[in-house]
Amino acid sequence: METASSHVLVVDDDANLCNLVREYLAQNDFRVTAVSTGKQMLEVIGREAIDLLLLDLRLPGEDGLHLARTVRETSRMPIVILTGRGEEADRVMGLELGADDYVTKPFSPRELLARIRAVLRRSQVEAAPPGRDETLRAYRFAGWELNVRLHRLQAPDGKRVEISRGEFSLLCAFLSSPQRILTRDQLLDLSRLHSTEVYDRSIDVQILRLRRKIEPDPSNPRFIRTERGAGYYFDAPVKAVR
């Protein structure tokens, strides 16, 4: 099963360049958001799970290096910086601040795509182990996305699915330990890591409700499977976005 498309945030004041990047990356199964200012960049990062930031260091009236530093201080998301051919000092400084790679303008879309894919491969991490991970921003599985900071569940078609606190905590427990059998007691303990809510209903009832929201056929579950006599397990690859 495939995970949702990687989400790239492009920050550049050149509208033509943004359109070119958006169209080319979209043709290669990337989701792209493009903005032109640092303020817009921070707003998007605050509400979306971004897999990679493509940042122009020469934004009019803004310090691109400062923006890169701000992002790196609060996130481990990969950063690819855009610079001009004669801006070696900016490239060096950007890399020292924690950028993962750079691309010089003008560039070919194919080169940009190759660099983005290479950076994403290097930064790929397994789903977080059980426990609270303060750097975690979202989980993705089979086109679904669970934003753990906003408690927001998004379906593969982009629509938001309403989810209770208990269901959110239970789904986090499954996604933090994919393809691993979990007993009811383990699920209860893992769920408490994500919420202070005390369950007043059994784990089985919570699972039934969760299946109705994420399973194509709740009576024949594709994701949350039952291991008779042992517990439950989440049967899909999971990507943790940090």
Spans of all domains in the chain: 7-123, 138-241
User: What integer pLDDT is reported at residue 134 of this predicted model?
Assistant: 62
User: What integer pLDDT is reported at residue 198 of this predicted model?
Assistant: 39
Q: Residues of 34-57 as b/e, b for ≥16 C-beta within 10 angstroms?
A: bbbebeebeebbeebbbbbbbbbb
User: What integer pLDDT is reported at residue 36 of this predicted model?
Assistant: 94
User: What integer pLDDT is reported at residue 3 of this predicted model?
Assistant: 43
CATH of domain 7-123: 3.40.50.2300
User: What integer pLDDT is reported at residue 193 of this predicted model?
Assistant: 54
DSSP one-letter string for the chain: -PPPPPEEEEE-S-HHHHHHHHHHHHHTT-EEEEESSHHHHHHHHHHS--SEEEEES--TTS-HHHHHHHHHHH----EEEEEETT-HHHHHHHHHTT--EEEEES--HHHHHHHHHHHHHHH--PPPPSS--TT--EEEETTEEEETTTTEEE-TTS-EE---HHHHHHHHHHHHSTTS-B-HHHHHHHHHTS--PPPSS-HHHHHHHHHHHH-SSTTS-SSEEEETTTEEEE-S--EEE-
Q: Consecutive 10-residue runs of the chain (242 residues): their mean pLDDT?
A: 72 94 94 94 90 92 90 87 82 84 90 91 56 73 91 92 87 91 82 52 80 93 91 91 82
- C-alpha atoms less than 13 angstroms from C-alpha of 206 in its C-beta half-sphere: 24
User: What integer pLDDT is reported at residue 9 of this predicted model?
Assistant: 97
Question: Which CATH number, 1.10.10.10, 3.90.190.20, 3.90.1150.10, 1.10.3720.10, labels domain 138-241?
Answer: 1.10.10.10
